[in-house]
Structure 1
Amino acid sequence: MDLVIVVALVVLQVSLQPSLAALFTVEAEHTSYNSEYGGSVVMGCRFSSKPANPQNDLKVIWHLTDAGPDQEVIRLVNNLESSVSSKFKGRVKLLTDELKNSWAKIQISDLRITDSGMYQCLVQTTEGTDYKTIALSVGAPYHSISKQIERTAEGDKVVLTCQSEGYPVSPVVWQDERLQSYISNTTTTTTPDGLIKVVSQIEVSSSEKTKYTCNFTKDHSSATFHIPDDIPPRQGENDILIVVLCLGLVLTATGLGVVIYRRRKGNYLLILLNTEPKLINVIY
């Protein structure tokens, strides 16, 4: 009885081999991609067999499946490429040269945060239809950090501010040169481009000579304040300094003029003293 079952299984396996060999499949080159805001990415899936007539037998469709309603990114049907999504207009293309190598690849340029999501690569030939899902994550590093220093109303303290934009949100850690940490007031807002604007502040003494550093820990980006060297002058101090400099220039110019005048006058008198007197005959 057992022998009969074994023989039946072998016969079934042999009979299924041709159909298994002919099974059409699609495989993703990578299941996920991490890319940078403003950059570009190439995502691809490989199909198991080359179509007999690539001009007519091949259909490739890429969808973005989890950004609200299903969005068709790009399609190729009967060798005609089209994109119906205004979101990707001018930023996406199908790498048609790769089709002859059984690759369905797309390139998305000028990446946006909202391009993140699950993409479906669907390939259809006369041998069948299959698809694979690929995840794309778009991030933005906090590279550019702007600094600002403001005096408090009392004048004995200053508010240090660090501001940057990136994605996703980054914690901000403040430390002084002794690596002592400070509690900060940090706020976040979303920009129209989908970036996270992070503003972080601490209040410190304006007289203690030290340095403070804000660290955006997501990307290990930082900015440093040197206190009191970086503190801007009080309002009006610049005007006073300008007045003092102008007075100094006027006094210097006046003194120089007096010196030059006296030298010229002394030279004139010396010439008169060294000149021999001449007799002048006067006719009456």
Structure 2
Amino acid sequence: MRGPLVFICRALLWTAVSALFTAVVEESAYEAELHSDIKLACGFSTVKRDSDLSVIWRRVEPNPDVDVYRLERGRVNYNYTSAAFKERAQLIQELLDENRAVLHLKKLRIKDSGTYQCIVKYGDEGDYKHVTLNVTAPYTPIQKTVRQTGRDEVELSCETTGYPRPRVIWSDGQNTNLTDRINSTAHTTDEDLINIISKLRVNGDLVNNYTCAFLIKGEIRRTATFSLPDEIPHQCSSHSYVWIGAIVVVLLAIALTSVALRIRRNGQKGRSNESSKCCFLLPHPSPATNTDSLLTVNENRPDTCETTLKVPSEKPEALREVLTQQYSQIVANTQMKSRFASYCTNVLPHALYTKEGQSLNIASIVPDERQTILLLGEPGSGKTTVAQIMSSCWAQSITTDPFNIHRLQLVVLVDCNEAQGDFFQVVKSSVTPETPLDECDLRETLLGPTDCLVILDGYREGNTDLDETLRTFLSERQTCGVLVTSRTGECPALENRVRTVVQLIPRPEESES
């Protein structure tokens, strides 16, 4: 009987104490845009000494609960603070004298949305209140596409990105609702935004206007109108196709004749000499080495290799020259060349797997345009070796190309083991030109249309500046591919975001130190 009595007494005492010391909210709901700042505020009763004051801000929805900021008896305590908020949340100390506990959240993310609890304690007294935060992102201008799918049919497409997910409505020039005929798809970006594509197929021969509209909470946020048939792309006539086919046949005949004459003129000896130039990093292979299969994933490739590279644009030419010179020094001696060649011949072709355990070929670790690939492996599995081989292979002007990496204008190898600063500072520090490299030019090159690859070797999450700016780069880049090598378990957030995760699992006796 004593236990229940004690509990009841404590409850009554807490109610009485709480009535003496109270917390109030200035606003119950807040709304802000992605990447902006917000100040959440709650007031409290007058206190005599700040040293006895404790303020705790927590996000209680969605689950699980996380600590955002904690001030205990006048001292900041980061022991319980979530890593997602540690560098972005701050209590405005000078406002405590005005009996206001104001939480300043910076660089807002979509996942910051939720219900926050403000707990204020003074000695044995305390109270709490709740506020809600809704982070939104305005939808981008609509990208329109018109594609002819049949003789009389065209497909209209509207694409935009933002948050939250909108409702899509289509109508024609007579305000007829066509929404039941549309096909809409959506996927989540690296920043948790919604990229939505809505398509409608109509008769292209009819003169009409078609409008797509994106609505949030019943309000139209973005619209685009198609005027048909004016916006239908011109199609080649049947006569045009005949002429194009004839020209292609003539050009193929000329090319095949030229190749046949060159082979006959050079002879088998000439072909063997040319092929020997292409043996990657191994100028004098032993008789036991099958040089035709060295570092190759295509068993049907010709005996001779491609010796010409894609001509880069003028803009990154200076950086390309610096990187080519830098990466050519990676294999400066015969021992290193032999080591790399052995690794690529005997280990790498059998060491790449999907997360489901399916074997992959060597070229699968080179990202496509705007793709991110995460290469995971245990210490000593050879991740750094792979990164160095890819960079060296790109820098060589005459070499076999099992990675198909010569198509790229730029390859930038970045050592992230002791990275300091944001993404572009880290990339800049990895380049060692004789003249200083302008960070603005580097930023413009990597974010622009240059066909390039950035290799982040030894990446490990935890550097807030690097993590956040990398996330921004991945969402803003136009064409650049990114390959990230990391130890298993050191990039959980990135592993959840990227769609392509490759595992490097060499055989135990062949592991690279």
> What TM-score do the two structures reach when normalised by structure 1?
0.69
CA distance in 2, matches of 1:215, 1:127: 56
Q: What is the match of residue 179 of structure 1? A: 175
Cα deviation digits, residues 153-194 of structure 1 (max 9, x gap): x23221000111222221111112221221211122223322
Q: CA deviation at 1:140?
A: 2.7
Bigger Rg over Cα: 1
Cα deviation digits, residues 183-220 of structure 1 (max 9, x gap): 21112222332222221111112222222110112241
User: Following superposition of structure 1 onto structure 2, how do residues 198-277 of structure 1 map, counting pairs within 5 Å?
Assistant: 198-218=196-216, 219-220=219-220, 221-234=222-235
Q: CA deviation at 1:233?
A: 2.5
Q: What is the match of residue 165 of structure 1? A: 161
Q: Is the Cα contact below 8 Å between 1:149 and 1:232 reproduced in 2?
A: yes
CA distance in 1, matches of 2:156, 2:54: 58
Q: What is the match of residue 114 of structure 1? A: 111
The 1:231–1:46 alpha-carbon spacing in structure 2 relative to 1, beyond 3 Å, is same
CA distance in 2, matches of 1:39, 1:62: 19
What SS does structure 2 have at the residue aligned with 1:62?
strand
Match of residue 121, structure 2, among 109, 121, 124: 124
CA distance in 1, matches of 2:214, 2:135: 18
The 1:184–1:46 alpha-carbon spacing in structure 2 relative to 1, beyond 3 Å, is same
Match of residue 77, structure 1, among 65, 69, 72: 72
Match of residue 195, structure 1, among 193, 196, 207: 193
The 1:128–1:21 alpha-carbon spacing in structure 2 relative to 1, beyond 3 Å, is closer
Q: What is the match of residue 102 of structure 1? A: 99
Cα deviation digits, residues 85-135 of structure 1 (max 9, x gap): 111233222111211100001121222221111111111123611111112
* Equivalenced residues, count: 219
Structure 2 unaligned spans of 5+: 1-15, 245-513
Q: CA deviation at 1:63?
A: 0.6
> Which stretch of structure 1 is more off in the superposition, 227-236 or 32-41?
227-236
The 1:123–1:204 alpha-carbon spacing in structure 2 relative to 1, beyond 3 Å, is same
The 1:77–1:230 alpha-carbon spacing in structure 2 relative to 1, beyond 3 Å, is same
Greater per-residue helix proportion: 2
CA distance in 1, matches of 2:236, 2:133: 51
> What TM-score do the two structures reach when normalised by structure 2?
0.40
CA distance in 2, matches of 1:47, 1:127: 14
> Do residues 141 (structure 1) and 138 (structure 2) align?
yes
CA distance in 1, matches of 2:55, 2:166: 38
CA distance in 1, matches of 2:162, 2:103: 26
The 1:115–1:235 alpha-carbon spacing in structure 2 relative to 1, beyond 3 Å, is farther
Cα deviation digits, residues 25-47 of structure 1 (max 9, x gap): 11111222222233222111101
CA distance in 1, matches of 2:18, 2:175: 64
User: Following superposition of structure 1 onto structure 2, how do residues 57-76 of structure 1 map, counting pairs within 5 Å?
Assistant: 57-76=52-71
Identical columns (%): 35
Letter in 2 for 1:47: F
CA distance in 1, matches of 2:166, 2:37: 23
Higher relative contact order (CA 8 A, sep 6+): 1
The 1:67–1:132 alpha-carbon spacing in structure 2 relative to 1, beyond 3 Å, is same
Q: CA deviation at 1:21?
A: 11
Q: CA deviation at 1:143?
A: 4.0
Greater per-residue strand proportion: 1
